[in-house]
Amino acid sequence: MIRKFLKMRSSIFQKQAFAFSAHQKHEDDEPGFLETVHTFFKQAASHTNISQDKLDLIRCPDTTLKMSVPVLMDNGQYKIITGFRCHHKHHRLPMKGGTRIAPNVDIEEVEALALLMTLKLATVEVPFGGAKGGLCMDPKQFSKTEMERVIRRYTLELAKYNFIGPGIDVPGPDVGTGEWHMDIMKDTYHTLYGLHDFNVTAVVTGKSLVAGGIKGRPESTGLGVYYCIRNVLERKEFKELRDKHGITEGIKGKTFCVQGFGAVGYNAAKFLIEQGAKLVGVEEFDGCVYNPNGIDVENLKKYLTKNKGVKGYTDFVADKHIFDKQCDILIPAAMEKAINKHNSPGIKAKLIAEGGNGTTTFEADRILNNKNVLIIPDILCNAGGVTCSYFEWLKNIEHKQPGRLTMEWEKKSKLILLEGIQKKLGENGMKVDFSSLAPEVTRGGTDLELVQTGLDSILTNAFLKVQNVTKERNVSLRLGAYIWAIERVHLCYENAGLTLK
């Protein structure tokens, strides 16, 4: 019964994580994930004036904790699970990054993801260092109570080594974890330190609303992916970039495919469709759905949730890959190294938006650049999640909801302004009456609106800065983002006098 319940709970995202990595394995003859990220880093670094010793300082992780997490199983026996937490950089505190639960988690993956977090946070100028954690286990093999014990013990181990805390390291969700896991981590930390530290709620992000989460966090990564695509396709500041890559203006009528229909892929699709784009293909662990006339996003999501896969859905094709299908935009939103040297030559899309981390191998990146495909890199494209986590952390340490204090004042100040204008116009013989304006015009922003507009402005500003670097140094958008991020981290060390000089 418990197992059955757990099965129901296990998210589609967890399932796809294993399946995607499994079917990728047999063709995986390229450098590992960590080496791939290091290669991008080194390539970007060669376009900076930073000395090698300082580059090494920035690239290498500060500390990685590997632990054996004992968990009491329902049958009374103990199982030992290997867990990790990598503190990639202490240059800014707290550190921040997700917690991954998957059977293939290892130290290299965690360190690669933690390095990406440092770069991602620097790209969007969120003042945190990068971190990442993981538990090497298949959650489908654990009951809900067993899983709760794993998470609690993992949190205790992190606390024991001073690897967690609202001002030290603030874990968030990642593949295989969600609100429930974050709530358990928060509760464990709260139980330990709640009476000593009144900021304990800020110890993790991605929590449920009742546990101190923030509106908009679940869809934030997908929304960020959408904002990045919208910038490229619609904003005048990105016209040169569009022209350079032969991309036509406008979202309306553009076709797109998504690999991985979890939280990121589904939400990015939803926002794009709302603006008139057409979803034509979805790849899941058990095959693809492809229809050039469009796919009903909600219907497919419902089907996927109910059937734990896309097999049997209308327009289901047993192909394992969506990458060679005709479309304008491709969104890889599953696991690392999904786009590799084998499938990249067949890619037809002119724009790739990396919803997942490390989705493109070094060789694939080279092939796609030669084809003049524009790739919005992971450290910019999927930064919406951690940016929203930053808002949640701020909400928690400030002990207030974003719109609670400002909402009424915003409304009042707009009314005062309108009254003033009305009076002035009246004095000049122009009689107007603003009192009939709809309340919508003067109301203050809701929490969700503040989160979404904040996210848009942070991501769009970061994109503009990355674009500048890209132009100045004549490199790809990925290298532009890496250079921008590396130089930001370097600046932080320089200013603190903590260099190796």
Interacting positions 166-225 with ligand GLU (CB under 6 A): 172-174, 205-206
Residue whose CB is less far from ligand GLU, 285 or 391? 391
Residue closest to 44 by CA, chosen among 29, 59, 31, 33: 59
Residue 98 engages ligand GLU in binding (rule: CB under 6 A): yes
Number of H helices, E strands in the chain: 18, 12
Q: Look at the block and give the residue holding tokens 């993956």.
A: 109
**CA 265 – CA 330 distance, rounded (Å):** 10
Indicate which residues carry an active-site annotation: 132
Bridge partner list, 422: none
* Mask for 32-61, x = binds ligand GLU (CB under 6 A): ------------------------------
Interacting positions 105-134 with ligand GLU (CB under 6 A): 120
Residue whose CB is less far from ligand GLU, 119 or 288? 119
Residue whose CB is less far from ligand GLU, 328 or 336? 336
Candidate list 38, 87, 92, 96; residue touching ligand GLU; CB under 6 A: 96
Q: Nearest approach, Cβ of 323 to ligand GLU (angstroms)? A: 22
Structure-block tokens of residue 105: 């988690």
Residue whose CB is less far from ligand GLU, 40 or 238? 40
Residue whose CB is less far from ligand GLU, 397 or 407? 397
Residue closest to 333 by CA, chosen among 269, 261, 280, 383: 261
**CA 227 – CA 271 distance, rounded (Å):** 9
Interacting positions 429-458 with ligand GLU (CB under 6 A): none
Residue 97 engages ligand GLU in binding (rule: CB under 6 A): yes
Residue nearest to ligand GLU (CB): 172
DSSP codes, 185-251: HHHHHHHHHTTT-TTGGGG-SS--TTTT--TTTTTHHHHHHHHHHHHHHH-GGGHHHHHHTTPPS-S
Question: Given strand 63-72, what is the order of strands in its sheet?
Answer: 63-72, 78-87, 129-136, 95-102, 169-173
Residue whose CB is less far from ligand GLU, 97 or 262? 97
Candidate list 385, 403, 454, 480; residue touching ligand GLU; CB under 6 A: 385
Residue 359 engages ligand GLU in binding (rule: CB under 6 A): no
Which helix (H) or strand (E) covers residue 285, if one does? none
Residue 480 engages ligand GLU in binding (rule: CB under 6 A): no
Candidate list 389, 452, 470, 476; residue touching ligand GLU; CB under 6 A: 389
Taking 3-state DSSP, the helix, strand and coil percentages for the chain, each rounded to the nearest 5, stand at 50, 15, 35
- Quick check: helix, strand or coil at residue 348? coil
Binding window for ligand GLU (CB under 6 A); candidates: 57-65, 186-194, 365-373, 383-391: 383-391
Phi-psi region of 165 (alpha: psi -120 to 50; beta: other; left: phi over 0): left
Candidate list 36, 231, 357, 396; residue touching ligand GLU; CB under 6 A: 357
For ligand GLU, how many residues bind (rule: CB under 6 A)? 14
Residue 11 engages ligand GLU in binding (rule: CB under 6 A): no
Which helix (H) or strand (E) covers residue 283, if one does? strand 278-284
Positions touching ligand GLU (CB under 6 A) are 96-98, 120, 172-174, 205-206, 357, 382, 385-386, 389
